[in-house]
């Protein structure tokens, strides 16, 4: 099956989605396909990728038009360790407008002392926005890192703060 790559214009800049069989494999704020493909493990990069219309694109548009829950049920396929997979699922349960600290996220994972592992789960998240790792902050509320830049993270959090 051919994977689909689509770039949308958003208020935070170009947003590219890599989707296969109706599931988001990777996404982020760039118009560089190689940067999106680079978010995947090399053995998970689809052999055939073509430009097209991603089924999740309408959900991104709805999110930016104010429906912050539009991204919640979009199917995502990420491959990692059991802890990473459970962490990515946990990220999807963080409500818009209610960010957690890395320490709080570690507690949600059932491992309060695993703060570095919690941060690593966020860093290895390939499906940005759909798996909202931007909703995890440093202790004290500092933004911390974000693969797509702190300006994008700040903008997303401000958009969701009204929720």
- Which residues are designated catalytic? 133
Residue pair 6/17 in contact (Cβ under 8 Å)? The answer is yes
**How many residues are recorded in the chain?**
163
Q: Nearest 5°: CA angle at 129, between 123 and 134?
A: 50
**Cα→Cα distances 16→36, 42, 140, 143, Å:** 7, 19, 31, 23
Residue pair 21/144 in contact (Cβ under 8 Å)? The answer is no
Residue pair 90/136 in contact (Cβ under 8 Å)? The answer is no
């Amino acid at each position: 099956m051919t994977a689909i790559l689509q770039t949308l214009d958003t208020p935070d800049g170009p947003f590219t989605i890599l989707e296969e069989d109706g599931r988001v494999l990777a996404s982020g704020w760039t118009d560089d396909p190689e940067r999106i493909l680079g978010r995947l493990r090399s053995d998970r990069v689809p052999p055939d990728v073509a430009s097209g219309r991603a089924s999740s694109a309408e959900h991104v548009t709805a999110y930016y038009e104010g429906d912050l829950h539009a991204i919640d049920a979009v199917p995502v396929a990420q491959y990692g360790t059991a802890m990473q997979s459970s962490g990515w699922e946990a990220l999807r349960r963080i409500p818009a407008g209610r960010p957690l600290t890395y320490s709080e996220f570690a507690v949600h994972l059932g491992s309060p002392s695993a703060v570095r592992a919690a941060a690593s789960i966020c860093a290895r998240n390939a499906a940005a926005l759909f798996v909202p790792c931007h909703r995890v902050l440093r202790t004290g509320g500092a933004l911390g890192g974000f693969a797509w830049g702190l300006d994008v993270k700040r903008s997303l959090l401000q958009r969701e703060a009204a929720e």
